[in-house]
Structure 1
C-alpha cells in the first residue's frame, strides 16, 4: 500500500511550456503572457515561464472559486512562513 497525498497535484494539467501555458490562459492574460515572454532577455525567459505557469495552474484549478470565496470570507486556512521553513528544514529541503 502506498500513501496518497491529501490534495493531489496534477502537474500535467498545464504543460510547462509556452504553448501549454498560453492554452490555459484566456484573452488579455494570454496576450500579457506573450508580451512578457517576448520582451524577456533569454536568461530571464525561464523565470517568465515559471511565473506564468503558476498563474495558469491557479486559473485552471478546479477548486479555485471555492478557495477565492474562502479567502474573501476570511476562512481560508493559512500557514506561517516560519512553519513552512521549519517543515522544509525537517525534510532536508533547501530554504533560500
Structure 2
C-alpha cells in the first residue's frame, strides 16, 4: 500500500492549526459546517474534527495548489511513498501516529 506525498512550499503551516485559523480559511457555508461539526463533537472527537477541517482549509486557502494536486492525481503523476515511510516521517517529526 502507498500514500500520496504532498509537499507544501514555504515555512510553517499555510493555515494555523486552530479553530480560528481554520475558520478564517473557509468560505462562509463551509465555515458554518465546520463550526457545527466542532460544536457537536464530543471532547475526545474534537481533535479529529480539527484535523479533518484543517486539511479542507489548506485546500481552500490555496486554490491554485489544490487545483494542481487534483490535476496531478487525475493524471497519475503524484509522487508516492510507502505507508511505513510516512509513519516513520511523522514519528521523526514528533507527530502523532494513530
Common fold, TM-score beyond 0.5?
Answer: yes
Q: In proportion to residue count, which structure has more strand?
A: 2
Q: TM-score, normalised by structure 1?
A: 0.67
1:35-63 residue CA offsets vs partner (Å, 9 max, x unmatched): 10110112322322222122212322352
Larger-gyration structure (1/2): 1
Alpha carbons of structure 1 residues 49 and 86: separation in structure 2 relative to 1, 3 Å: closer
Alpha carbons of structure 1 residues 63 and 9: separation in structure 2 relative to 1, 3 Å: farther
1:3-23 residue CA offsets vs partner (Å, 9 max, x unmatched): xxx943431x31222121111
RMSD across aligned positions (CA): 3.0
Which runs of 5 or more structure 2 residues have no equivalent in the other structure?
Answer: 1-7
SS at structure 1 position matched to 2:68: helix
Number of residue-to-residue matches in the alignment? 90
Q: Give the one of 66, 69, 72 matched to 2:68.
A: 66
